[in-house]
Chains A and B, each alone.
Chain A
Amino acid sequence: MNVAVAKTGKGRAVSDLFTSAEARLPGSPDVIAVRREAFETYERLGLPHRRIEEWKYTDLRALVGEVLPLAASPDGAALKRAAEAVKAHAIAGASKLVLVDGVFAADLSDVKALATEAGFKTLREILDSEANPAASDLLQTVATDAVISLNAAMATDGVVVTIADGAQLSAPIQLIHVATATGASAFTRSHLRIGKGARATIVESFVAAGKTSGYHVNDAVVLWISDDADVAHIRLMDDAPDAVNITSQFVTVGANTKLNFFNMTTGAAVSRLQGFITLAGEGSELSANGVNLLQKTEHGDTTLVVDHAVPNCTSREIFRAVIDERAHSVFQGRIIVRPDAQKTDGKMMTRALLLSDEAEADNKPELEIFADDVSCGHGATAGALDESLLFYLKARGLPEKQAQALLIQAFVGEAIEQIADDGLREHVIGMAERWLERRS
């Protein structure tokens, strides 16, 4: 079935895309062979569609149709436009690492500042170095997921950051993805390794330079966190309103570690964040939260798989979606508790706020529990704004839109308040405010 679909006109267009991109893809011949294999997997599967269970609500064949050609390497003018976008979206005090159209931009990045606290290389330089036989390990795939294989085949660059054991990073590391190429795709893959006892904040931002539009982003992140670490990981996806962003994250958490993850979706016509988080060491605490703010006909999918592989870990997930006009929000939350993972404590709470009759929310919680001494649960609600609260605010002089805005902010606040850092929390609240101002 899938094979047949991959041989249609669309399948062939992608195939052309790979052959034409091949010369620009970094890597020794070994790496290129791995890429070709990954691409063949992608071709065989084709873009995910609704008959694939994990993609039931996000049918990329229907929503996206085809993959756009690889973006050209940014020229001087593109980098100049990217610099403006970086300025607008930079977190105060952060060490910036900037990828423009899928290519690392050293001049826009703070590699020197970072170098005192962490090891840094680009994915490109590692893949290109003949001396590194393990380079192709950086392009691992999940055999059943076509977008990840596509990412492995096409990734042009990314950052590889290693934070040493015991390092206490004073400033956040902010990875900023900037799109300057209209109608093109950027494929990136980054690896972040956090050492034992280290403390770090990683922020990822996805933005468009100026009026850049109609582009695709396919990003992958491999985050490996050692024992006794304390990590905040915040992803802010504010791509252009007609862009596509598909991101896959693979996170492994060691023992006695704290991971506080937050995802914010305020952009893109079609987006999916799929996070695969494995709690691999005992005594760890995961807090994974997110907000989808969607309007027009936007489709935003947050899919989190939390895998309790060992005993004595806790996970907390709070997810909020605000859906206006004809937008569609998807939240899929799966909690897996492996047979050995006794004393697991996993909770997930999802709430959707529907601002119009045509707004749509799909919520799919799944608990797969194979241990018997655990405490796991999930809850979900969906509904409109409370009329009696709206009236109270209006009776005190707030016009309709402003009254709604106040209640929407309170609603998403329940997830945003999980961000511990005051500055980052304010930054995220600011993003929500700008989204509210954009509402027509």
Chain B
Amino acid sequence: MALLEVKDLKVRVEEREILHGLTLTVNEGQVHAIMGPNGSGKSTLSHVIAGKPGYEVTGGQILFRGEDLLEMSPDVRAAKGVFLAFQYPVEIPGVATMTFLRTALNAQRKARGESEYSTPDFLKKVREVSKSLGIPQDMLKRGVNVGFSGGEKKRNEVLQMALFEPSLCILDEMDSGLDIDALRIAADGVNALRSPERAMVVITHYQRLLNYIVPDVVHVMSKGRVVKSGGKELALELEASGYAQFEDAA
């Protein structure tokens, strides 16, 4: 059974159809890249998978391990292993990052019927992961993403991904705003999470990220549909020739 099956998905936002019948299948262990011009609907797809309110699904299905994802609330999806690293992570003043991480991790574990982490175990885990991502401890004492630079916010998303150990990771423009060193560190963090049980969907505009996180499949999205899929060489082709050739296909 596929891990994620998006079938003929049609989505509207404020009376306007954004996704016009999108189909995508992701298996365990795979890394898929989605590329496509601005406004083609990449973030919309990721939001609908995560369960963000404000989107109306007017057709099609999303199955996660064969279960209807659209029937589940966002927190249930997270507990089942769906994780979206946001293109624009929000700032939450007054909620300390550490408190947030522990509350979220334990809420997920509780929903799965697992025991909650003890404080020392949790702290040890956070310390390990944040060290490998080059996130200083005092950053974790601040409010969630408050006063973080763009790159720090992205690293904080990868930190959460490493901590929650989801089975489907959707990374929406993880590379935007990262300098070259930060990109390599974040990509190493993502690569460390690659495993036969875990799948990743990497949304990006740039071939460079795919040099670090090498995809099994590359999709081209245009105007709310997947218009072409191929191997990693498709990304190179796009880099050379741009999206114009796909405009008509959509």
Contacts and interface: CB of A to CB of B under 8 A. Distances in A.
Interface of A: 387-389, 391-400, 402-403, 406-407, 409-411, 413-414
A332 B75 CA distance: 39
Interface string B70-112: 0001110111000010100110111100011001110110010
30 contacts: A388-B90, A389-B92, A391-B52, A392-B86, A392-B90, A393-B104, A394-B51, A395-B50, A395-B51, A395-B52, A395-B74, A395-B78, A395-B84, A396-B104, A396-B160, A397-B75, A397-B78, A397-B79, A397-B105, A397-B107, A397-B111, A399-B73, A399-B75, A399-B107, A399-B111, A406-B99, A406-B103, A407-B92, A409-B94, A410-B143
A394 B75 contact: yes
B64 interface: no
B94 A397 contact: no
Contacts of A397: 75, 78-79, 104-105, 107-108, 111, 164
B120 interface: no
Contacts of A387: 53
B89 A392 contact: yes
A388 B91 CA distance: 10
Nearest to A417: B94
Given A389-B90, A407-B95, A410-B93, A394 B103 contact: no
Interface string B18-55: 00000000000000000000000000000000111100
The B interface, classified by DSSP as helix, strand, loop or mixed, is helix
A275 B248 CA distance: 71
B75 A400 contact: yes
A398 B86 CA distance: 16
A145 B143 CA distance: 45
Contacts of B143: 410
A156 to B, nearest CB: 43
Contacts of B89: 392
Contacts of B105: 397
Contacts of B93: 410
Contact of B92 (A392, A395, A402): A392
B250 to A, nearest CB: 29
A409 to B, nearest CB: 7
Contacts of B86: 392
Interface string B159-185: 010001000000000000000000000
B107 A410 contact: no
Contacts of B108: 396-397
B52 A402 contact: no
Nearest to A406: B95
A411 B94 contact: yes
Q: Which of B95, B105, B108, B143 has the most CB of A within 10 A?
A: B95
